[in-house]
Amino acid sequence: MNIYAVKAIYVFEMARTFRTIYQSILAPVISTSLYFVVFGAAIGSRITAVEGVSYGAFIVPGLVMLSLLTQSISNASFGIYFPRFTGTIYEVLSAPISYVEILLGYVGAAATKSIILGVIILATATLFVPLQVAHPLIMLTFLVLTSITFSLFGFIIGIWADGFEKLQIIPLLVVMPLTFLGGSFYSVNMLPPFWQTVTLFNPVVYLVSGFRWSFYELADVSLWVSIGMTGVFLTGCLVTVWWIFRTGYRLKA
Amino acid sequence: MNKQSIISIQGLSKTYDGGFQALEDVDLEIRKGEIFALLGPNGAGKTTLINIVCGIVNPTEGRVTVDGHDIITGYRATRSMIGLVPQELPTEAFETVWNTVSFSRGLFGKPANPGHIESVLKSLSLWDKKDNKMMTLSGGMKRRVLIAKALSHEPRILFLDEPTAGVDVELRQDMWNLVRGLRDSGVTIILTTHYIEEAEQMAERVGVINQGSLILVQEKQELMDRLGNKQLRLHLHEPLQGIPASLSGFDLEFVPESCELVYTYHSQRERTGVTMLLLALGEAGITFHDVDTKQSSLEEIFVNLVTWEK
């Protein structure tokens, strides 16, 4: 294992976060705070509690998940796309480093940033709503698993994209709508039966549901189904990344 | 593998997805500790060859070993020995010189060594720029940083792909002094350049590649001796109306503007014809006040080779 190489990529990527701290950390914290103000305090005060949990507190897991997904994808996709765009990827490709080590460096850094952000958002949430975490270990598991999975997904997008527009298409046109429609701001049970069924095709539902369960023991689907679906998506991403490295897709001619 | 060889290339071919064949059945041995110049026109396959050895491009056919290790199965061993200075200037615009060079060392599996990085930066006159962001540097400075990055992990083999493109004369001399120093310390250097006079000055052996095929590989001096013509220029007292019939057996050209008679011959042949020419000139009553000779440059040899291939 080329530990020095993994460390070099990891530290290099983390340094980018601290160099762009307003964009990386402050902006998501402010936007999440605004969600709390608008949905939690202003509108939420007029909405009755959802299954015994105040609306402000109910949306906390969904909001964390929203930031986690978008930031994981954004961090990881940019992390690998930028060297491809500038041409500095030549150095990574010519270094004595395995594909697993490349992943550990890039995806590890992206996931770390997301986890830090998730924790900051949770800390911010406590300023607005009373927060309880019924199962901290499960909560942490979902936080880490989701960050890794969607960082892998972002890494795939960063390899696939051949322009800055494509880099934004999936996060903005697919992930964001799926997150909003994935029960971040409501319980799936509030929907008419037909839409409840349709919603089950949205993978984000399982993430939000499982994550919310770790806070309030409230879930739209079983915890194990949530964990299983996250595992399926993680496996799918790993297989895709393996294929990318095996074929050299958009990395090696 | 040749006893002295450090890079062994056998039957290497590369066809890109679009069908373009960049390399065709290339065999090449690079000797340990030499400076090898790879010459060829644009699109000849020089960069593809380098990129395959470095692991950036996948070969279609053939085998490459570096110090006995296969570049595919033993990529960790081969790549850790190699430093690459690419033709383009890809840099992380927002990083400092120090960080980007240190990053390269780590990437190639070496523990941090600020002393070595300092020494490399100083040798490339970059020390006072170490805290500057890459985006603030000139093209020549960026080129130096790329060399520093390639040297950061103390490679045993250094690939220089057009290293002096866009670099001023003074820096070019500094670079070549550095390259000579590296060669003296045992580093094998493979360079491509369009400045053929550099290859002529620097290289011990020369390979000429054209349209993906290696036309020849030879000791630079042997190549110049074998293919290089020499010209004897006679500065005449009086202009000629034409080449006299008695001199028609010689390969002569009269240059009216400079009143010169130019005789082209192969210097390595046993009989160059110079003595016979001088005798014939005397018999023809042609006198001259000065004489000089000129050896073909590597560039002229290269152009001739490539033209001949076409």
pLDDT of residue B194: 66
The structural domains of chain A, with segments of one domain joined by +, span 3-247
Of the candidates B110, B155, B146, B108, the residue with the CA atom closest to the CA atom of residue B7:
B155
Is B302 within a domain? no
Q: Which chain A residues are within 8 Å of B88, Cβ to Cβ?
A: 87
Of A11, A15, A94, the CB nearest to B56: A94
- B310 assigned to some structural domain: no
Total domains present in chain B: 2
> Which pLDDT score, from 0 to 100, does residue A236 have?
94
Task: Supply the pLDDT for residue A23.
Answer: 77
In whole angstroms, give the CA distance from residue B160 to residue B125. Answer: 18
Q: Of the candidates B180, B206, B225, which is a domain's last residue?
A: B225
Candidates A6, A23, A89, A91, partner chain B, best to mutate (most B CBs within 10 A): A91
Instruction: Establish if A245 touches chain B: CB-CB under 8 angstroms.
Output: no
What sign results for the dihedral spanned by CA atoms A188, A194, A195, A199? positive
Domain limits at B281? 230-295
Residues B94 and B130 in one domain: yes
In this complex, do B107 and A97 lie within 8 Å of one another by their Cβ atoms? yes
Question: Among the three residues B195, B225, B255, which one is the final residue of a domain in this structure?
Answer: B225
- B168 min Cα distance to partner chain A (Å): 24
Same domain, B157 and B258: no
Report the gap between the CA of B188 and the closest CA in chain A (Å).
17
Mean local confidence (pLDDT), B70-78 = 95
pLDDT one digit per residue (tens) for chain A, 253 residues: 889 999 999 999 998 888 777 877 788 788 888 887 887 777 777 777 777 888 888 888 988 998 899 889 988 999 999 999 988 999 999 999 999 999 999 999 999 999 999 998 888 888 888 888 899 999 999 999 999 999 999 999 999 998 888 888 888 888 888 888 888 888 888 888 888 888 888 888 998 999 999 999 888 888 999 999 999 999 999 999 999 998 888 888 8
Instruction: Report the pLDDT value the prediction gives residue A96, as an integer from 0 to 100.
Output: 96
> Which residues of chain A make contact with B17, given a CB cutoff of 8 A?
253
- d(Cα B14, Cα A253) in Å, to the nearest integer? 10
CATH number at residue B216: 3.40.50.300
Q: Is the pLDDT of residue B228 over 70?
A: no
Q: Under 8 Å CB-to-CB from A88, ≥6 apart: which residues? A: B90, B91, B92
pLDDT (0 to 100) of residue A213 = 92
Residues B116 and B257 in one domain: no
Q: Chain A contacts of B95, Cβ < 8 Å?
A: 12
Distance of residue A172 Cα from the nearest chain B Cα, in angstroms: 26
> Smallest Cβ distance to B109: which of A9, A12, A96?
A96
> What whole-number distance in Å separates Cα of residue B97 and Cα of residue B134?
6
C-alpha distances in Å from residue A32, one per residue of A1, A67, A120, A153: 39, 8, 10, 22
**Among A15, A95, A98, whose Cβ lies nearest the Cβ of B107?**
A95
Contacts of A23 (CB under 8 A, 6+ apart): none
Element (H, E) at B309: helix B298-309
Residue B253 sits in a domain whose CATH number is 3.30.70
Between positions 17 and 56 of A, the ones with CB within 8 A of B are 19
Strand partners, B83: B158
Q: Are A95 and A5 in contact (CB under 8 A)?
A: yes
Alpha helices in chain A (DSSP H): 3-19, 21, 27-35, 55-58, 60-86, 89-93, 99-125, 136-160, 164-169, 176-180, 193-199, 203-216, 223-247
Q: Do B103 and A90 touch (CB under 8 A)?
A: no
In this complex, the residue of B51, B57, B92 whose CB is nearest that of residue A86 is B92
pLDDT in tens, B264-280: 887 767 788 888 899 99
**Which of A1, A17, A92, A94 is the best substitution to test chain B (most B C-beta atoms within 10 A)?**
A94
Residue A85: closest CA among chain B residues belongs to which residue? B90
Q: Give the rounded percent of residues in chain B with a pLDDT score beyond 90.
A: 51
What was the pLDDT predicted at B309? 59
- Assess whether pLDDT exceeds 80 at residue B299: no
Looking at the fold, whether B287 and B191 belong to one and the same domain comes out as no
Task: Answer yes or no: do B110 and B160 share one domain.
Answer: yes
Partners of residue A5 in chain B, C-beta under 8 Å: 106-109
Summarised one tens digit per residue, pLDDT across range B181-224 is 999 999 999 998 767 777 778 889 989 888 899 988 988 877 77
pLDDT tens digit sequence for B77-95 = 999 999 999 988 888 888 9
Contact B76 A2 (CB under 8 A): yes
**Rg of chain B, C-alpha, whole Å:** 24
Q: Is residue B62 classed exposed, middle or buried when 0-12, 13-18 and 19+ CB atoms within 10 A define those classes? A: middle
In chain A, what residues touch B107 (CB-CB under 8 Å)? 4-5, 8-9, 91-92, 95, 97
Widest pairwise Cα distance in chain A: 59
CB contact under 8 A, B57 and A253: yes
Q: Is A247 on the interface with B (CB under 8 A)?
A: no
Question: For the residues B27-48, what does the mean pLDDT come to?
Answer: 91
pLDDT value of position B2: 45
Same domain, B55 and B182: yes
Cβ atoms of A44 and A54 within 8 Å: the answer is yes
| Among B17, B107, B110, beta carbon nearest to A92 | B107
Please name the member of B16, B78, B90 whose beta carbon is closest to the beta carbon of A253.
B16
Decide if A132 touches B, using CB distance below 8 A: no
B182 CB neighbour count, 10 Å cutoff: 19
* Distance in angstroms (rounded) separating the CA atoms of residues A143 and B271: 86
